[in-house]
């Protein structure tokens, strides 16, 4: 019998709200072993999978987006009250982050869409909702 590794996913509900365009949000609905999976919610039925990836020893926190053949990615900068979080500092705990900036997301999305609200939203900060816990779901 052949054995294989399957990625286990757990349902979550984590909302990231655009500071620039409140009607645009990122909804993360699955926790995977090394990422959170969801989608960008906009009014024009823009479709694709959006992922946030935790930092690894040699890689920073990152994001990726897949829409058919299109695959985009970049770095994510996490903040708490305007101060940058990174895994090598000790003043901010990972569960305390409350904002994120997805570097390059807007410019890369402009290759596949001309939705001005979506591009404006993804060029700015996203507020991390209360249901999130530094990228992990709050335990109840």
Residue 131 lies inside a defined structural domain of this protein: yes
* pTM summary value: 0.85
HEC-encoded secondary structure of the chain: CCCCCCCCCEEEEEEEEECCCCCCEEEEEEECCCEEEEEEECCCCCCCEEEEECCECCECCEEEEEECCEEEEEEEEEEECCEEECCCCCCCCHHHCCEEEECCHHHHHCCCCCCHHHHHHHCCEEEECCCEECCEECCC
State the total domains in the chain: 1
Residue 63 lies in a domain: yes
- Residue 2 forms part of a structural domain: no
Assigned domain for 15 exists: yes
Segment 65-79, tens digit of pLDDT: 999 899 999 999 999
Boundaries of domain holding 77:
10-137
pLDDT digits (tens, 9 = 90+) for 37-58: 999 988 767 789 999 998 888 8
| pLDDT for residue 4 | 44
Q: Does residue 11 register a pLDDT over 50?
A: yes
pLDDT tens sequence across 86-139: 888 889 988 899 999 999 999 999 999 999 999 999 999 999 998 786 545 444
**Position 111 in a domain:** yes
4 within domain boundaries = no
Q: Is 37 part of a structural domain of the chain?
A: yes
Residue 5 inside a domain? The answer is no
């Amino acid at each position: 019998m052949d054995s294989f590794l399957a990625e286990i996913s757990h349902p979550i509900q984590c909302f990231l709200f655009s500071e620039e365009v409140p009607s645009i949000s990122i909804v993360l609905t699955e926790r995977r072993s090394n990422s959170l999976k969801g989608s960008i919610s906009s009014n024009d039925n823009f479709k694709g999978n959006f992922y946030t990836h935790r930092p690894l020893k040699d890689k920073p926190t990152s994001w990726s987006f897949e829409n058919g053949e299109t695959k985009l990615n970049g770095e994510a900068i996490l903040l708490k009250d305007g101060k940058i979080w990174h895994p090598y500092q000790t003043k901010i705990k990972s569960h305390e982050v409350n904002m994120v900036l997805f570097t390059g997301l807007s410019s890369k999305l402009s290759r596949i869409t001309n939705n001005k609200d979506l591009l404006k939203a993804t060029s700015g900060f996203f507020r991390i909702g209360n249901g999130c816990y530094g990228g992990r779901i709050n335990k109840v």
